[in-house]
Structure 1
Amino acid sequence: MPRKTLTFLVALALTLPAQGADAQDATEGLRLSLPAEALLDTRPFEREAVAEETLSLEEAVARALENNRGLRAERLQTAIQGTFEAQERSVFDPALFAEFDVFRDREEREFEGFTQDSFFSERRGQAGLQQSLPTGTDLTLSVRSSRVSSSFQNQIEYTTRAGLSLTQALLRGGRIESNLVRLRQASLDVEASEYEVRGFVEQLITDVEGRYWDLVLADEQIAIFEEALAVARAQLDQTERRIRAGDRPETEAVSARAEVALRRQGLIDARADRARAQDALARLLQGDNGGLWDTRLEARSEPELERYTLEPLDAYVALARDHRADLNETRLRVQRNQLEVVRTRNGLLPRLDFFVTLGQSGYADSFSRTWRDRQGDGYDLAAGLRFEMPIGNRAAEAEHTRARLTRQQIQETLANLEQLAIEDVRATWFDAARVREQIQAQKETVELQEELLRVEQTRFRVGAGTALAVAQAQRDLLESRLNLTETVVRFRQLSTELLNASGTLLLHRGIDAPGAERVEIRL
């Protein structure tokens, strides 16, 4: 029979009641079935570590901020959003343009028996600079040159023209605030991504500290179970000596052995919990090489309750309204949507543009002379208005209506998110206050359970008590010690979660990151 199956059957047999001769047989069966080395094998989940590293809480947080792969990916989002801002800014950048084309026309005509061959050839080139301004102004400065030759002319003619054209939007597209909407929205997206990164960092630190204290708790539980196992074994040895001396019946050994088996079971579970806690912490801390999987991490910091106090609930709620990253990010989304309303309102206007073109041309039989042989003081000038209005304008109306409804929707979302944030802060504060109150009561419980165990051990030594009563007292003491340890660690975790819920975790940890100020909704 495999050893795992045998151990399970032995543990099951320890929980069955035994009386009289059957109890004595059961005791003997236990002595024969349970191998001695099984009592010592309590490390099935521990791997042989390649290295060992001791970390404080601050060192763990610093390593996570430096190495965490998820944070690296999140930081790239801000850089990505910055490219959209640069793209929108480029709309107002000046642009150079140039073009060149050749046109040639050749014709043959018959007239009264004669064939007439004619041709026309033109080469044209143009270059210039154009720019759109936030004021709704389009400027173009250009130079155009052409070379014309034909069968109707005995010489080649060159023409050069330098000109400036201006188009100014008077209605649609004529306001600076509407023309800058896309750029301002892209800038708000960059700022919102910074708040998003800040929220990610706060949650990462919360996770790191939570997993760190899980590791501390697992180590404390292992130490408690090891101590409890040692006490249970000592009680078993004492019971067996009393049985051999004839002071106790054989049935007394059953409860003592059961206690040893239960303590071993608890120790195995505690070691498994530590392995999981270490892996969870290692994932948050390690970088590219992944070397922490096989490194044994030892926690150096302790959850000192004297360093952590609870401020009044209203203080945390007020801080959450100002500093929570998700609320500030949503406020930026509201502001972005208000800009969308401005943009779509501009689309409701008809298009009315004023344009003017001014230029001067030169003509000569060579390209270089066209710059000297101009028309003296002559010039060409064109000016006018251009009007455009879609009949019904339904597309612009629908877009503007959608923008207004979306703005209202996101405002409701913000109000709901604020309520959820307040609920989150209040629930975490109530849990932290409850856990802190329980600590003192559980300390008193541990002291009373220790006294009760001493009483039962004394009664057992003088023959007035039983091994079962001692085992029960040991079990109660173990449970109370574990509860106290879990409560202390849980309060430390809730303290971090409360700071995270109020949006002030980075401020309390002295970590400088963008997005520390409250966002005020404005146009």
Structure 2
Amino acid sequence: MKPRFRLFAIVASMILALPGTAASSTVWETFTESPLGGKINNVEEPRVDRLRPRPERISEDLPKPEDGQLSISVEDAVVFALRNNRSLAVQLFSPIIAGTFEEQERAVFDASLFAETSLSREKIERNNLVTGKPVGLRSESETYRAGIGRRLSTGTSVDLSVRQSRSDSGTVLDRQAAGVELSLTQALLRGAGRKVNLAGIRQAELDTMISIHEVRGFTEALVAETETTYWDLLLAERQVLIFREALRIARQQVEDIERRIAVGTVAETELAAAQAELASRRQGLINAHSRREKNRLSLLRLINPGSSDAWLLELEPRDCPKEPDIELDPPGDHVALGLSLRPELAEAELRIEQGDLEVIQTRDGLLPRLDLFITLGKTGYADSFGGSFSDITGPGYRVAGGVSFEWSLKNRAARAAERRALAGRGQAVASLDNMAQLIVEDILGAHVEACRARAQIEASAERRRLQEEVVRSEKVKFDVGRGTSLAVALAQRDLLESRLDEVDAIIGYRKARIALYRLDGSLLMRRGIVVDADLFAGE
């Protein structure tokens, strides 16, 4: 290979290997520091283009429906929801979509091939200077050009091209020309430097990270909703049992009074109160069945078991509502967790970083465009195709260079864009502060509610025990003729309310803890569920 050809081959290989483009392994290998001084994650993490649409772990351990009934624990319900919930499946597409914008931004730095050709033919008539007669002159030309070009993150554009042309004037032999040309254009003001040129890629990467935080927030809300609905279903089941028992007791009371009326030991006026209480128990049982059915449908939608007759599937909660033995942490600990774990705060911080990048880009737009360009070339001439390329190695060469300048006199669009970017960043900072304050308020309020719910457990149990004594006392009075059926009915009604309140207090405390853990951002961590960028990478 001729030395000059070897030189151009080396230059071409250097262009393809230059950093800051998508053809290299990663853009950020040569730009690992953000414009704000923070470390930038390698773009290979996360590979959201290979996002798994559903968690597959422990799927074989999930219970199967039998005879139209599915017996599940609260842990089973959560795993079902993580695997099958359709809303979560929809949300998981967001990081995939956001990841495509990263590739789109990187494509700006991809190398591109170009080729062009042109043909021309011209025929004119001129008077012969000797004879004075018109003479027809014909000329033809062909031009072919091909090459490779690339834009670099430094603000440099590089083109390497090869061209060949042929001209035939009709009076002399064909003239062949061949050439190799290297063109470099470097931005000196606007568009210069990696910070501004890689800002678009960094913004797209931040969008992907934001979408992953959104998935985490959605997953946390889904787990909280699933657990809460599970306990609501269990509460409705217990309420149905309590109302059935109350209905049975009320029916026995009516039958007992009817027997006493028949033997003349009780006046007929005592029957109305007992019958009214029996009707009230029927109403309560109907409402309890309705609440249970609604909670069953809600939980079926959340866990989506996938059975062909899923909506007809009966759910049987296996967990028992027991008095908790877990003490609440101090409110300050929950606040500290919330300020470090809440995905909304992480999103807001990323929005601020996006605002910083937007400011960098808009300030770059305030600068005038000043570009330096230089072209290096070698051209060979001959009367044949091969000869023209052989002549390239001759001593001749071509060098051209210069600068180009452009600047809008008022530059109003760029100034408006900068003001908008600064205002947007200020708004993002204010939003972060406001969100942090709201989160602290929500956590403290949830902690107060959890403390109240825990205190209600013992209070409701004490009330139920005392109310049982009241019912026994009223029954004894009625049996000896010193009480009325109305007093017995009212006592039984109060006992029913106390039993309902006791179960509601136990389950209410569980639900209050779920709400507290969701608000402080630790629910997924406490349940052993991880939503991290690394999990979105393929095998």
TM normalised by structure 1 equals 0.86
Is the counterpart of residue 508 in structure 1 residue 489 in structure 2?
A: no
Is the counterpart of residue 78 in structure 1 residue 100 in structure 2?
A: no
Cα deviations by residue, 1:429-451 (Å, 9 ceiling, x for unpaired):
11111111111111100000011
1:114 corresponds in structure 2 to 133
Is the counterpart of residue 174 in structure 1 residue 212 in structure 2?
A: no
Is the counterpart of residue 152 in structure 1 residue 171 in structure 2?
A: yes
2:289 corresponds in structure 1 to 271
Amino acid at match of 1:88: E
Residue 113 of structure 2 contacts residue 146 of structure 2 at CA under 8 Å; is this kept in 1? yes
Which of 143, 161, 169 is the matching residue for 1:142? 161
Residue 506 of structure 1 contacts residue 512 of structure 1 at CA under 8 Å; is this kept in 2? yes
Question: Structure 1 residue 375: deviation in Å?
Answer: 5.4
Which of 92, 110, 114 is the matching residue for 1:93? 110
Is the counterpart of residue 123 in structure 1 residue 142 in structure 2?
A: yes
Partner of 1:424, secondary structure, is helix
For residues 290 and 326 of structure 2, the distance between their equivalents in structure 1, rounded to whole angstroms, comes to 30
1:379 corresponds in structure 2 to 397
Amino acid at match of 1:103: S
1:492 corresponds in structure 2 to 510
Is the counterpart of residue 319 in structure 1 residue 319 in structure 2?
A: no
1:446 corresponds in structure 2 to 464
1:335 corresponds in structure 2 to 353
Residue 55 of structure 1 contacts residue 300 of structure 1 at CA under 8 Å; is this kept in 2? yes
Cα deviations by residue, 1:284-327 (Å, 9 ceiling, x for unpaired):
11166664211001111233342543111111111111110111
Question: Structure 1 residue 116: deviation in Å?
Answer: 2.1
2:451 corresponds in structure 1 to 433
Partner of 2:391, secondary structure, is coil
Cα deviations by residue, 1:323-356 (Å, 9 ceiling, x for unpaired):
1011110110111011100111111112222211
Aligned CA-pair RMSD: 1.7
Residue 52 of structure 1 contacts residue 296 of structure 1 at CA under 8 Å; is this kept in 2? yes
Output aligned runs, 1:109-258, within 5 Å: 109=126, 114-153=133-172, 155-258=173-276
Is the counterpart of residue 53 in structure 1 residue 75 in structure 2?
A: no
Is the alpha carbon distance of 1:514 and 1:291 closer, same or farther for their aligned partners in structure 2, counting shifts above 3 Å?
farther
Partner of 2:92, secondary structure, is helix
For residues 311 and 115 of structure 1, the distance between their equivalents in structure 2, rounded to whole angstroms, comes to 107
For residues 258 and 441 of structure 1, the distance between their equivalents in structure 2, rounded to whole angstroms, comes to 29
1:357 corresponds in structure 2 to 375
Residue 179 of structure 2 contacts residue 392 of structure 2 at CA under 8 Å; is this kept in 1? no
**Consecutive unaligned residues in structure 2, runs of 5 or more:** 1-65, 535-539
Question: Structure 1 residue 269: deviation in Å?
Answer: 0.6
Partner of 1:372, secondary structure, is helix
For residues 288 and 166 of structure 1, the distance between their equivalents in structure 2, rounded to whole angstroms, comes to 61
For residues 114 and 354 of structure 1, the distance between their equivalents in structure 2, rounded to whole angstroms, comes to 53
For the pair shown, which has the larger CA radius of gyration, 1 or 2? 1
**Consecutive unaligned residues in structure 1, runs of 5 or more:** 1-48, 517-523
Residue 128 of structure 1 contacts residue 141 of structure 1 at CA under 8 Å; is this kept in 2? yes
Residue 425 of structure 1 contacts residue 498 of structure 1 at CA under 8 Å; is this kept in 2? yes
Question: Structure 1 residue 426: deviation in Å?
Answer: 1.2
Question: Structure 1 residue 280: deviation in Å?
Answer: 0.8
Is the counterpart of residue 102 in structure 1 residue 124 in structure 2?
A: no
For residues 116 and 304 of structure 1, the distance between their equivalents in structure 2, rounded to whole angstroms, comes to 113
For residues 429 and 395 of structure 2, the distance between their equivalents in structure 1, rounded to whole angstroms, comes to 62
Amino acid at match of 2:467: Q
Q: How many residues align?
A: 467
TM normalised by structure 2 equals 0.84
Residue 428 of structure 1 contacts residue 497 of structure 1 at CA under 8 Å; is this kept in 2? yes
Which of 278, 298, 318 is the matching residue for 2:316? 298
Residue 148 of structure 1 contacts residue 158 of structure 1 at CA under 8 Å; is this kept in 2? yes
Partner of 1:464, secondary structure, is coil
Which of 464, 478, 483 is the matching residue for 1:465? 483
Amino acid at match of 2:379: S
Is the alpha carbon distance of 1:145 and 1:483 closer, same or farther for their aligned partners in structure 2, counting shifts above 3 Å?
same
Amino acid at match of 2:135: Q
Amino acid at match of 1:75: L
Cα deviations by residue, 1:116-166 (Å, 9 ceiling, x for unpaired):
22222111111111111111111111111112112232x222211111111
For residues 65 and 291 of structure 1, the distance between their equivalents in structure 2, rounded to whole angstroms, comes to 20
For residues 171 and 140 of structure 2, the distance between their equivalents in structure 1, rounded to whole angstroms, comes to 11
Question: Structure 1 residue 515: deviation in Å?
Answer: 6.7
Amino acid at match of 2:107: S
Amino acid at match of 2:486: L
Question: Structure 1 residue 91: deviation in Å?
Answer: 0.8
Amino acid at match of 1:413: S
Is the alpha carbon distance of 1:75 and 1:307 closer, same or farther for their aligned partners in structure 2, counting shifts above 3 Å?
farther
Residue 198 of structure 1 contacts residue 515 of structure 1 at CA under 8 Å; is this kept in 2? no
Residue 143 of structure 2 contacts residue 166 of structure 2 at CA under 8 Å; is this kept in 1? yes
Cα deviations by residue, 1:73-123 (Å, 9 ceiling, x for unpaired):
111010000000000011111111111221222223467873322222111
For residues 261 and 74 of structure 2, the distance between their equivalents in structure 1, rounded to whole angstroms, comes to 50
